[in-house]
Amino acid sequence: MRIAAGIEYNGTGFKGWQRQVGVRTVQECVEQALSRVADHDVTVVTAGRTDCGVHATGQVVHFDSLNLRSDYAWVRGTNSALPPDIRVLWVRPVSGDFHARFAAIERSYRYVILNRPVRPAVWHRLAAWEYRPLAVQLMHEAAQCLLGSHDFSAFRAAGCQARSPCRTITRVEAARSGDWIWVDVDADAFLQHMVRNIVGMLMAIGRGEQAVTWSDAVLRGRDRTRGGVTAPPEGLYLSGVRYPERYQLPCSQPAARFW
């Protein structure tokens, strides 16, 4: 039986999603917990691998199990075996053609910034901090040139293993409420560090260091070395993954926003 699951985690204490020898990863913890409930070894496939320090409120995985369990048993049993910085939110049985990565039609990220003079204490490692005032409207305007299908080489990490740098962004917005700023990006898929590199560029524009038109020049230049500083990982959240309606998953609608 194939099962899909929604997961949230605080990425602070992990060396990213992907299983690695000798370090703590989200994948390893999830697989160990699911294996206890399934009573056999379980391997999970994820919608998108997150880097060290990056969080998720809407990660999706799938796995195959030889044993039948109720949705309630999967959620409660797995969570009882997980550390407190990971939680399974829901599980659903799905058809055998479901694939957490390849069946996804849209992924959503939110980048959260605390924009005030004093560094955060409560939100330490849960949001990025910028002490210099940011002009959010300029950031929003600058981001609109990224909409549509483009070669995003200028926002791609040097070690990115994706075969193509082309992606399609369907929504990108920057907004503010009090001291909080967030940047939402929805796309068919993302390159490594793509959102963090976009946000780093937008923050430079928001600080007045670059003109609004700089974002278009960076995009067209396709040169990562000209794209500015990569924003830190602690502000980034995988906020949702959308799938075709036929799978009837809780995440089949556009991701719920938070913050």
Residue 46 lies in a domain: yes
pLDDT, one tens digit per residue, over 121-145 is: 999 999 999 999 999 999 999 999 9
Query: Is residue 89 domain-shared with residue 191, that is, in the same domain?
Result: no
Task: Please tell me the distance from the alpha carbon of residue 223 to that of residue 207, in angstroms, as a whole number.
Answer: 22
Residue 156 lies in a domain: yes
pLDDT, one tens digit per residue, over 194-252 is: 999 999 999 999 999 999 999 999 999 999 999 889 999 999 999 999 999 999 998 75
Query: Is residue 11 domain-shared with residue 115, that is, in the same domain?
Result: no
Task: Please tell me the distance from the alpha carbon of residue 160 to that of residue 156, in angstroms, as a whole number.
Answer: 7
The verdict on whether 51 is a catalytic residue reads: yes
Residue-wise DSSP of 62-113? EEE-SS---HHHHHHHHHHHS-TTEEEEEEEEE-TT--TTTT--EEEEEEEE
Structure pTM? 0.95
pLDDT for residue 258 is more than 70 = no
Domain boundary among 103, 131, 153: 103
Total domain count, the chain? 2
Residue with tokens 């479901």: 98
**CATH number, residue 36:** 3.30.70.580
* Nearest Cα residue to 9 out of 59, 66, 63, 72: 59
For 87, half-sphere exposure in the C-beta direction (CA atoms, 13 angstrom radius) is 9
Helix (H, G, I), strand (E, B) or coil at 193: coil
Q: From the candidates 39, 51, 64, 216, which is the catalytic residue?
A: 51
**CATH number, residue 213:** 3.30.70.660
Residue 150 CB partners (closer than 8 Å, separation 6+): 166, 167, 168, 169, 219
